[in-house]
Structure formats: C-alpha cells, structure tokens
Amino acid sequence: MRICLFLAFVLLTGIPLPAQQTQKPPLHAKNWMAITGKPLAATAGALTFQKGGNAVDAACAMLAATCTMWDVLSWGGETQVLLYNPKTKKVIAINAMGVAPTGATPEFFKSKGYQFPPEYGALAATTPGTPGGICYMLAEYGTLSLKEILAPAMQLAAGYPMEAQTANSIERGKARIKEWPYSKKVFLTHPGEKREAPEAGEIFIQQDLLNTLTKMVEAEQAALRQKKSRKQAIMAAYDRFYKGDIAREFVRGCQEQGGLITMEDLARWKPIEEEPLSVNYKGIDVYKMQQWTQGPVLLQALNILENTDLKSMGYNSTAYIHTLYQAMNLSFADRDFYYGDPYFPPQEPMKGLLSKDYARQRAALINPLMNGALTGPGDPYPFEGKVNPYSALMQFRGFTTDSSKRNFMPAHDNGTAAADPGYMDRLWRGTTSVEAADKEGWVVSITPSGGWIPACIAGNTGVGMSQRMQSFVLDSTLNPFNVVAPGKRPRVTLTPSMALKDGKPYLSFAVQGGDTQDQNLLQFFLNMVEFGMTVQQATEAANINSNQLWLSLGGTKTDDRKPRPGSILLHDTIPEKVRNELKKMGYTLSFDDRTSGPINAIYFDWKHGSFWGGSSNHGEDYGIGW
C-alpha cells in the first residue's frame, strides 16, 4: 500500500530506455560463447573450444589466463562457480574459496592493532582456492587434460604484451610492491628508472609462474604414464600444488613475509561442491552461491521487489530508484549481520531470509517518502519457526526486531558523508568474471578474485597471495557469523549468477566490483526481465549504487567500513527533476558516467536456437562466439 501511495506522490519521471544502438555490438553464436575480463583470455577460451573442449574446459582455460594476466586476480586467489549440467538439468555450485590459516584469530589481529584483518601482504592471505577449483571443475565436468587447458596460460606466462591498465596499476602500486622482494622481482621490470613498471605493449615474462604451471602439468603427465585415469592425473597436479614442492615453496615464501599459512593448512583445504540457493521471480528461477558469498542478497532483493510494480514506475524514475535503493538497503542490512561460512557454527537463518513472507514483511518497512537512513537487519527466525538467538545482541547494537516498529541503525554507525575516492575504491575493488556456454548445454558462470595488484607473491612460485582475510570481522557484534577463525571462509563479495526459465538456461551473468556486484547484477536482471532490454543494452544501461552498507573490503578501521546512509551514485544522464526529488527524500547524490563494474552475460535464445553475449562498454572485458 505504501508503495502505491508513493507512486501517487512522486511524478514518475526517469531517463528514457536506452536506444537500440549500443556502444558495443551484441555477440551472436550458435555453437559456443566465451566472455571474460581480458581479450587474450577470451581468446584462450575460443582456442579451447576449437580443440573440442566443452564450456567447462573453456571456462577453466579463461580462468587460468586471467590469473596469469593479473586481471585483478592471481593464481593464489579464490574461485566461485555456478555450473549448469545438461545431463542432470541442474545448477550446481563449486566453492573454491580459501580459508583462514592456522593462528588467524581475533585476538591475534587485535594484538597488532587491527579492527579488521589487513588489506595487503602475507597476513591478508587465505589459502589459495583457484588452482584447486580449476582442477576440480576440470576433472569432474571437463573433457580435456590439464595440459591442454593450461597451454594458453603457460604461453602467456612465457611472455605476453601487457596492456596499459595492468601496467599502470603496477606503477601506481610500486611503493607497496617494493615491500615484498618476490613481487618486486616479478613486477618492477625497470628498477631504478622513473617508471619501474612495464610499459604498455611490453612483453611481460613470468618465469617463476611458468615453472609452477609446468610442475603441475608434469605431475599430470607422469600420472597418465602410470596408467592413472584422466581424473586421477588432474588430481595429481592438484596434490603437487597443495601438498608437494609447490606447496613447500609457497608456505616458505608466505611465512618469510610474515604470513601464517602452513603446509597443513594447504593439505587440509579442499573445494566443495554445493547446492546453490535460489528463488523464483515471476516464473524465473534465479541461482546464487550460498551465504559465504553475498549472493543471496540479490535473491532477497528480488523477493522484496516482487511486491511492487517496477515496470509501471519506469526505468530509473524517481520511484524506481527509491524503491530499488530501499530494497537493497534491507537486503544488505541482513547480509551484514547474518551471512557467513555455513560450515562453521552458528547456522545462518537462510530459510527465513529467503522466505517470501519475510520479504513481504521487509517490503512493508519501505518509507514511501524518505530514505530509510536507519535501516537495520530484520528477524528471519520466526519464518523458520525459531526464536532469534541474537535479539540481545541486536538490542545492544540498537536494532529492533519488532516488525511493528521501524528498523534503525545505531547512532555510531550513522553518517552521511558523500563518497570519497578512497571509499569508492574500496567499494569497487577487485574481481573479474568468466562466462561460457556450448551447444551441448553446459553453462558456466565464475566470479574469481584475490591476489590483485599490488599483490604479495609467495616465494619463487610466481603466485600472488589472496587478500580476502579482510572480509572477516573481529567483533561478533558486527556479524556473529563472520568472525575470523582458522579453517573458516570469509563472507566474500564474489557472486556469479544463473537463471533458468521453463527448466532451461535463461541467463548466465556476473560482474566485478566489490560490494556493488549484486547491486549491478540485480539491475541488469531487471533491465531484461522488467524493461525488455537486450543483453547488451542491459550490460551498458545506467545503474545506481548504494553506499548504505558495511564495506567488505579495504581499510583496517571501523570508520573506513561503516554505512553511509542515503549516499547514492547516479549516472550523469539522470534528469535534473529526478535529482531534485531524490534530494528532497534524503539522498546525498554523486554522479559518474560509469555506474557499474563490467557486466558479462550470456542470454539463451531458445526461439532461434542461439546465444546472445553481452559485455559492458568499459573496461577490457571481451567475448568471442561461434
């Protein structure tokens, strides 16, 4: 009812729907599609398809290539996968997120003066997940050998012409890179000169990384000569990375630079195949990773928005922007308090959080006239038939779980400062995406990350260590489910997406951009489903970003992370009338011509038996289809 009143209150003036013309053309294909964060890495996917590989093989090859090219990640980072298996007609999830090492406790980090684990260096590292994720995915669902899918990455490690984006990122981060001897050796190819980083177009050689990848292939090939199966041979390469000489050098290099990772940490870690979480939005089943990612926040937002008529509001009208922002606020408030590693107690209340009844209760809290600057987490436990065990903690923080009252944010969390450059960097930081599909029906969506520049390289492995420890909290009053502990996974921002319609693949989509990922993916999805955009139009369309959430990355102090109620990033094209109406509703506005990380997506056109590929019009993301 309040939403309906709001529609009567606000003149529904927005920006027009994008014209048919897009800055980048859509991709069309009937046999396969490969899209990722670098043109050369997309080519690695195409080469793999040309070898006869399926979409899983191609996705593994693209992931390996992006790691090698430092596309805001490295080989020591983490991998999150949604995979559609046409044989079972089911979506599965592969959890290849590293874990906190031995000794990583709140007491340890607090003793060093941290309010969150550090952003950089060996102490920021979880155990590597990507090598194991590639090996598991390839062994279980691919068709080619590790040698074949690593071939493009190994050629890149032997020397490739570096693009300006990465070269300039190295130069900007060189002061920190000089703190780490193995990083300095790899990245600063012109030591002592004014520009110490590689130049754009310079052939960048990574001999240590090439040696590491070669050792993995040697382990696989030796196992094959011993008549081991394809799967056993791939896992022999896995074992050499996590238990053999690669592991020993990784641990030595990590500990030499002050890190905590042990041989036992590497040997104990394993990727996990999981059931994804999903909701149905107007007949479309949308799938996300479990609550150790932020993925369910998109599902919660869809459940809330299902109670409104978004289409009648108009794309990026005042009503639409306000409603979208409020739905995201409610969902992110739950994320910030309730999400964490499901393999550690306490158990997250996901059944309640994804309940349609809970979503209706949350939707009723939306103020039709003003931003809900004091929005806090709700109480999903009654929707599981339970009593909230954290009621006292929420009262201590100043939250209320009484649905008859307004949820609110405690005074010490409140602030209305406009987004500054450092804050925006932390909001957008990290990640790339990989999308692949083939005519046999295999579909893969990956959001890998970790080990971005400036990366601390572990010894002579050439492998940059993850920086994902910073996504833990040290204080249970912030989130009792995400307190750091050895062997535990941090609650990460990384969030691939997949949607099925009538039991068949409909969309596979992902984006880079830290805490903005599910904000932008939500809008991409609505752009297609509610506003009829093509997949390329939807990737390029103007989005909004909310800063009313706790940041997952960057800064070691609470003030660096806390929410900024009402702070909103709008596209430059938003009309003056909409801007003025939003200001009157309590919003603090900022503007940019870029309001989304690079979105990559594949749309399945069952009417014509083809794929549509979309890749947004900024950044280096690129796709190839056939």
pLDDT digits (tens, 9 = 90+) for 263-297: 999 999 999 999 999 999 999 999 999 999 999 99
Res 560 pLDDT > 50: yes
Task: State the pLDDT at residue 513.
Answer: 87
Domains and CATH numbers, the chain: 2-12+291-416+542-595 (1.10.246.130)
Task: State the pLDDT at residue 544.
Answer: 96
Mean pLDDT of the chain: 92
Q: Percentage of the chain with pLDDT > 70?
A: 92
The mean pLDDT of 221-240, rounded to a whole number, is 98
Strand partners, 90: 85
Sorting pLDDT into bands at 50, 70 and 90, what band is 397?
A: confident
Res 618 pLDDT > 60: yes
Reported as a single tens digit per residue, the pLDDT across 25-55 is 999 999 999 999 999 999 999 999 999 999 9
Residues whose CB falls within 8 Å of the CB of residue 374, separated by 6 or more in sequence, listed in order:
406, 407, 408, 409, 414, 565
121, 468 Cβ separation under 8 angstroms: no
Read off the tokens for 126.
């979880």
Q: Which of 182-196, 229-243, 387-401 has the lowest mean pLDDT?
A: 387-401
The mean pLDDT of 12-20, rounded to a whole number, is 53
Sorting pLDDT into bands at 50, 70 and 90, what band is 422?
A: low
Strand partners, 370: none
The mean pLDDT of 188-203, rounded to a whole number, is 98
Q: Decide which of 9 and 104 is more confident.
A: 104
Task: State the pLDDT at residue 594.
Answer: 86
Q: Decide which of 422 and 535 is more confident.
A: 535
Res 418 pLDDT > 80: no
Strand order in the sheet with 443-446: 272-274, 90-96, 79-85, 443-446, 434-438, 32-36, 622-625
Instruction: State how beta strands 599-605 and 610-615 pair.
Output: antiparallel
- CA gyration radius, the chain: 23
b (16+ CB within 10 A) / e for 376-390: bbbbbbbbbeeebeb
Residues whose CB falls within 8 Å of the CB of residue 66, separated by 6 or more in sequence, listed in order:
36, 37, 38, 41, 73, 432, 434, 448
CA 368 to chain CA mean position, Å: 31
The mean pLDDT of 110-124, rounded to a whole number, is 96
**How far is the C-alpha of 429 from the C-alpha of 426, rounded, in Å?**
5
Res 9 pLDDT > 80: no
Task: State the pLDDT at residue 20.
Answer: 62
Alpha-carbon separation of residue 11 from 329, 363, 405, 526, 527 (angstroms): 23, 21, 28, 21, 21
* pTM assigned to the model: 0.93
The mean pLDDT of 49-64, rounded to a whole number, is 98
Res 196 pLDDT > 80: yes
Sorting pLDDT into bands at 50, 70 and 90, what band is 378?
A: very high
**How far is the C-alpha of 421 from the C-alpha of 435, rounded, in Å?**
30
Res 404 pLDDT > 50: no
What does the chain come to in residues?
626
Task: State the pLDDT at residue 417.
Answer: 36
Res 7 pLDDT > 90: no
Res 16 pLDDT > 60: no
Reported as a single tens digit per residue, the pLDDT across 495-548 is 999 999 999 999 999 998 899 999 999 999 999 999 999 999 999 999 999 999
**How far is the C-alpha of 453 from the C-alpha of 558, rounded, in Å?**
24
Res 446 pLDDT > 90: yes
The mean pLDDT of 70-76, rounded to a whole number, is 94
Q: Decide which of 557 and 429 is more confident.
A: 557
Res 76 pLDDT > 60: yes
The mean pLDDT of 369-387, rounded to a whole number, is 96
